[in-house]
């Protein structure tokens, strides 16, 4: 809320509801921010629950997917953060690692940081000529608080940032008619401490004004 207000927006918090609610809410907004939160139900990508799956919120999954669908049909920009990136990937037919520590491999760097969340902890490499590179350049330091991550990228999305261990840190739409940017880190907790914080709220407002 604070990041969007400081960027000049009038943010609305959309309470979880049904698909019809989602459509009605999207009529009121010029841009959509999908926030972090619960694990996405693996049934959404046709997978059995891993033993280390954490709490899910199936109603929110349905609601977020309906918000995404309505926002794409309206043609407004979307910014996904952490779970927001993951549910976007699932919307486009992708899958997730349900638990990185037990599913990914031994070369995993720290993705649930032990230090406070307003400080960046690891580096990301950003794809040349991506939209994200116009914001961050070709590398940046970000914070990290996630035990899940994108596994198979959904159709219509492409990878624009990774960590040194290969975890996907950002996605963009490969369709120029869809204005989608999704981040695995949490810019909201770095709002006043790093350019990888406030700049994304300013960017969403700029995109929403078009």
Between the alpha carbon of residue 141 and those of residues 89, 130, 163, 184, the distances in Å are 23, 17, 10, 12
> Is 139 noted as a catalytic residue in this protein?
no
Comparing C-alpha atoms, which of 156, 148, 172, 18 is closest to residue 86?
148
Between the alpha carbon of residue 128 and those of residues 13, 88, 152, the distances in Å are 34, 22, 21
Q: How many CB atoms lie within 10 A of CB 131?
A: 17
Query: How far apart (Å, rounded) are the C-alpha atoms in residues 133 and 151?
Result: 22
> Is 186 noted as a catalytic residue in this protein?
yes
**Catalytic residue (choose from 111, 186, 192, 202):** 186
CB 149 within 8 A of CB 204: no
**Catalytic residue (choose from 27, 82, 122, 192):** 82
> Is 101 noted as a catalytic residue in this protein?
no
**Catalytic residue (choose from 122, 169, 172, 188):** 188
* DSSP 8-state secondary structure symbol assigned to residue 49: P
CB 187 within 8 A of CB 81: yes
Tokens found for residue 52? 């280390």
What are the catalytic residues?
Answer: 82, 186, 188
């Amino acid at each position: 809320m604070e990041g969007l207000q400081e960027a000049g927006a009038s943010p609305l918090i959309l309470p979880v509801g049904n698909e019809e609610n989602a459509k009605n809410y999207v009529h009121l907004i010029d841009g959509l921010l999908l926030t972090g939160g619960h694990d996405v139900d693996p049934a959404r990508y046709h997978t059995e629950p891993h033993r280390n799956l954490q709490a899910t919120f199936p109603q929110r999954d349905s609601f977020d997917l309906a918000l995404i669908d309505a926002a794409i049909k309206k043609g407004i920009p979307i910014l996904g953060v952490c779970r927001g990136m993951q549910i976007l990937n699932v919307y486009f037919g992708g899958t997730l690692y349900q638990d990185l520590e037990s599913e990914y491999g031994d070369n995993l760097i720290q993705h649930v940081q032990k230090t406070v969340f307003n400080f960046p902890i690891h580096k990301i490499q950003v794809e040349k000529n991506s939209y994200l590179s116009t914001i961050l350049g070709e590398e940046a330091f970000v914070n990290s608080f996630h035990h899940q991550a994108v596994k198979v990228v959904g159709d219509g999305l492409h990878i624009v940032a990774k960590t040194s261990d290969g975890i996907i840190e950002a996605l963009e739409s490969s369709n120029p008619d869809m204005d989608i940017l999704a981040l695995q880190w949490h810019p909201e907790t770095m709002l006043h401490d790093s350019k990888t914080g406030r700049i994304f709220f300013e960017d969403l407002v700029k995109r929403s004004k078009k």
